[in-house]
Amino acid sequence: MHSRRVTTMGSTHDIAPSTPLGALPLAVVDVETTGLYAESGDRVVEVAVLRSMPGRSPESWSVLIDPERPMPPAASAVNGITQALLVGAPRFAEVAETLAERIDGTVLLAHNATFDLSFLAAEFALAGVSAPSLPAICTLTLARRKFRFHSNALGNVARAFGVPASGAHRAEADARMTLGIWQHMQATLFQRGIRTLADAERAQGG
């Protein structure tokens, strides 16, 4: 998810590498899952997108997903999503095109983007829907490379920046924390010469 020419659902968008960080159209994404490894068959059970356009209030969208397999108790203990909550939820294939439209023409932003985007790529493939090819910024990678926190976990970084940290480990709450972290990171990154999309990609190693 690294090319800057984005073709999704029949439309094409250009995001210039020179676009200032504060002017980026963002889709903050977070997923909750049945486990840690998409390649081992773990599935998405919740996805949230917080679409943040310059000069506009963020627009949120989230949905519970039927993973088409039992919800492991260990995963429920982490995110609070039980088998009962998933009764009647749509399968990923039923929301895949809506999700693609929600992130269309944006830069993806996530805390531990490798995790979230690997699950989304796997789900899009299973649904037979072409996954959008989008630039991505990872606040976890930037926290590790450009900051010094006692812990780089989402909640800890949020508290360090004074961003309200939700006690619930749910997709929309985590997406809102990620956006708050990013908004606070930008001033420090600017001082360090990281001012554009291309700068951010270099800073996080691609």
- Annotated catalytic residue: which of 2, 13, 150, 169? 169
Decide if 2 is catalytic: no
Asked if 70 and 42 count as a contact pair (C-beta separation under 8 A), the reply is no
Closest CA to 159 of 175, 145, 142, 180: 180
Q: What secondary structure letter does DSSP report for 83?
A: T
Q: What is the DSSP string of 123-166?
A: HHHHHT-PPP---EEEHHHHHHHH---S--SHHHHHHHTT----
Asked if 205 and 2 count as a contact pair (C-beta separation under 8 A), the reply is no
Cβ contacts of 79 within 8 Å, gap of 6 or more: 32, 45, 46, 169, 170
The residues carrying an active-site annotation are 169
